[in-house]
Amino acid sequence: MSHYDLALIGFGNVGQALARLLLRKRAELEALYGITFAVTGIATGRHGSAIDRGGIDLEKALALAEQGQSLAVLSAQPAPGGGVNFIHTCPAEVLFENSPVNTQTGQPAISHLHAALEEGMHAITANKGPVVHAYAELRDLAQRHGRRFLFESTVMDGAPIFSIFREPLPAANLRGFFGILNSCTNLILGRMDQGETFDQAVAYAQSIGIAETDPSADVDGWDASIKVAALSTVLMGVALTPQQVDRQGIRAISPEMLADARQQGKRWKLVCRAVRDGQSVKSSVCPELVGPDSPLYSINGTSSYVQFETDVLPGLGIVENNPGPETTAYGLLADFINAARG
């Protein structure tokens, strides 16, 4: 039996979904994997922080978060401000880092993960920024400390995108990939195709929590671009930033373009592509017309799809239907189990 103390940075939708999943899977983790755990620290941006070496009551933490109250009442000692100070103070073997994504620099998540690895923790994140901007640094730091830096939830939530290349596909060299990696724009384009205006479709995406108050990261292609960069960096060994991806969003898609596509029996999709070109990778995110002969044609709503082209498998596709915080939380949990199993 192995016991792990866990620390969480970020306790929004994903952090709370992870807490609920940990509670639901507690008995299963112990029975099947010999893993027991306690959450010894939670740090939030707006609702305070808590540290308790004896373990924080997750049900009480969830209740406080849902009521918009501070978690500080659960702390057995003063919890320092700032994520790095929190990590150095909190006794834990695993850090779950779920702060907001910074596509430009990856901070402060990079500093959080760096501090966790220096403290001897496994570092697990759903944040794409550190994967794009500091993958090699964090990977090497984890190896030096005998720990794991894992990030399955950064692309397509809980779908096994990165882990499938670690074990199930030995000696498979990735030549390229294409797909729909941003579920928000896929939903918006689908609703526009049904007659809504761009603003109406965006408002609906915001109302169900798929789009932020400022939807530019999605509709201008930044979220898709950083996912392309992450896949290229990790799976193809060619480091890219989102700024290096040829990017075009969906703002220019007009009702007339959608009507013309319908007449052709086609649909507009925001398509991500990357292909190896010698020692580099050519990558793009841009709207494309796809017909019924394309696997992207039937990817609707908030679903996502990626198809990998390797030197041994000409086409291997993965579909994720209607993801949400719960599927992201599962990716974090899977990383925890894999780290614990070595």
pLDDT tens digit sequence for 133-154: 999 999 999 999 999 999 999 9
CB atoms within 10 A of CB 98: 28
Query: Which pLDDT score is estimated for 158?
Result: 85
Q: Is the pLDDT of residue 229 over 90?
A: yes
Q: Is the pLDDT of residue 35 over 90?
A: yes
The class (CATH top level) of 2-158+325-341 is alpha beta
pLDDT tens digit sequence for 48-68: 999 999 999 999 999 999 999
pLDDT band of residue 258 (cuts 50, 70, 90) is: very high
Report, as residue numbers or ranges, the catalytic residues.
227
**What number is the average pLDDT over the span 27-39?**
97
Helix or strand or coil: residue 271?
A: strand
CA distances from 50 to 41, 53, 140, 195 (A): 6, 10, 30, 48
Cα–Cα dist 217/224, whole Å:
9
141-165 core/surface letters (b: 16 or more CB in 10 A; e: else): bbeebebbbbbbbbbbbbbebbbbb
CATH number of 174-320: 3.30.360.10
Q: Is the pLDDT of residue 168 over 90?
A: no
CB atoms within 10 A of CB 31: 9
Cα–Cα dist 28/217, whole Å:
37
CB atoms within 10 A of CB 52: 19
pLDDT tens digit sequence for 77-107: 988 888 999 999 999 999 999 999 888 899 9
Residue with tokens 């994903």: 14
Instruction: Judge whether 278 and 198 are in contact, CB under 8 Å.
Output: no
Cα–Cα dist 288/167, whole Å:
33
User: Of how many residues is the chain composed?
Assistant: 342
Domain ranges (residues) in the chain:
2-158+325-341, 174-320
**What number is the average pLDDT over the span 99-123?**
95
Cα–Cα dist 269/307, whole Å:
15
pLDDT band of residue 281 (cuts 50, 70, 90) is: very high
DSSP secondary-structure letter at 153?
G
Q: What is the DSSP string of 52-87?
A: -TT---HHHHHHHHHTT--GGGG-SSPPPSSHHHHH
From 33, 119, 98, select the one nearest 334 (Cα to Cα): 33
Which comes out higher in pLDDT, residue 191 or 210? 191
Helix or strand or coil: residue 100?
A: coil
**Type of residue found at 11:** F
Torsion of CA 332, 28, 35, 141, to 10 degrees: -20
**What number is the average pLDDT over the span 250-276?**
96
Domains 2-158+325-341 and 174-320 share a fold: no
